[in-house]
Amino acid sequence: MSRKRLAITGVTRSFAGHRGAAPMLALRPIDLMVEPGEFVAILGPSGCGKSTLLRIVAGLDQPTGGTVTLDGVPVTAPGPDRGMVFQSYTLFPWLTVAQNIRFGLAERGVPEAEQQAIAARFIARTGLTGFENHWPRQLSGGMQQRCALARALANDPEILLLDEPFGALDHQTRELMQELLLEIWDADRKTVLFVTHDIDEAIFLANRVVVMSARPGRIKAEVPVSLPYPRDWTMKTTPAFATLKARLMGEIREEVRKAAMA
């Protein structure tokens, strides 16, 4: 269970222009409060600055203006309290599945026996039993992202930052992964910031969906999702789900068109 409150206040980000061109504004002031244990989905068209926002929260990128605080403490650098799963595959190719999962623990000097116990627990939870000693290149995309999730979780972070972790997977695999993620989240209710451009995915997972505008991104709407947990795939066929979906589609269509024209 997470205890810390994430506050994003007036965060902006502009990138220096190429060869004297005007700077490019990627994020307009973003204000977002995330309560401990919340599952917030950030929904937005491609290029609207979702990854940029997540990277700023992770401490991998610095905002041009504004602040990010975790329980009042400003975020200035990456740290193990904010675990991240990236849009691309980022397992260390020279480490086995189990060694990848233990990376953060080893870095913090956790005793060997404890490392093994924790790794074993998350291997089981992410359904990777039997693949402990495989190299990343021997895994399917879905397994690699599950392993990346286990690697982030093994560190017991306050917040999980997930940047379209299932974006590169096929539809069926993605649905299975969503259910697995919910199961894991339900077990210890960590704060999750989940970036996606898939409306169904956002509704199915989150208890709040934040819609971002086309670039330069700003928060256009916040839609609470009051569907009860635990959720399973049958939820996607309920009228309540359809109503939310219709509303979010309305919000996002316009932005996607703007992004496509830009």
Ligand X SMILES: Nc1ncnc2c1ncn2[C@@H]1O[C@H](COP(=O)(O)OP(=O)(O)OP(=O)(O)O)[C@@H](O)[C@H]1O
Among 51, 115, 126, 191, binds Mg ion (CB under 5 A): 51
Query: Shortest approach of another protein to residue 128 CB, angstroms?
Result: 17
Taking CB within 5 to 8 Å according to partner kind, which of another protein, Mg ion, ligand X, none is near residue 141? Answer: none
Distance set, CA 49 to CA 8, 20, 45, 204, 213 (Å): 14, 22, 9, 22, 9
Closer to another protein at the Cβ: 78 or 216? Answer: 78
Instruction: Give the binding site for another protein (CB under 8 A).
Output: 58-60, 77-80, 82-84, 86, 88, 90, 92-95, 103-104, 106-108, 135-137, 148, 151-152, 155, 161
Closer to another protein at the Cβ: 36 or 80? Answer: 80
Closer to another protein at the Cβ: 2 or 213? Answer: 2
Query: Shortest approach of ligand X to residue 222 CB, angstroms?
Result: 17
51 near ligand X (CB under 6 A): yes
Among 1, 10, 15, 138, binds ligand X (CB under 6 A): 15
**Footprint of ligand X on residues 202-221 (CB under 6 A)?**
215
Taking CB within 5 to 8 Å according to partner kind, which of another protein, ligand X, Mg ion, none is near residue 107? Answer: another protein
26 near ligand X (CB under 6 A): yes
Q: Using CA atoms, how far apart are residues 137 and 149, in angstroms rounded to an integer?
A: 17
Structural contact between residues 217 and 48, judged by C-beta atoms closer than 8 angstroms: yes
Binding region for Mg ion (CB under 5 A) out of 51-59, 92-100, 111-119, 177-185: 51-59
Query: Shortest approach of ligand X to residue 50 CB, angstroms?
Result: 3
50 near ligand X (CB under 6 A): yes
Judged by the rule CB under 6 A, the positions of this chain that interact with ligand X are 15, 24, 26, 44, 46-52, 87, 197, 215
Chain residues in the site for Mg ion (CB under 5 A): 51
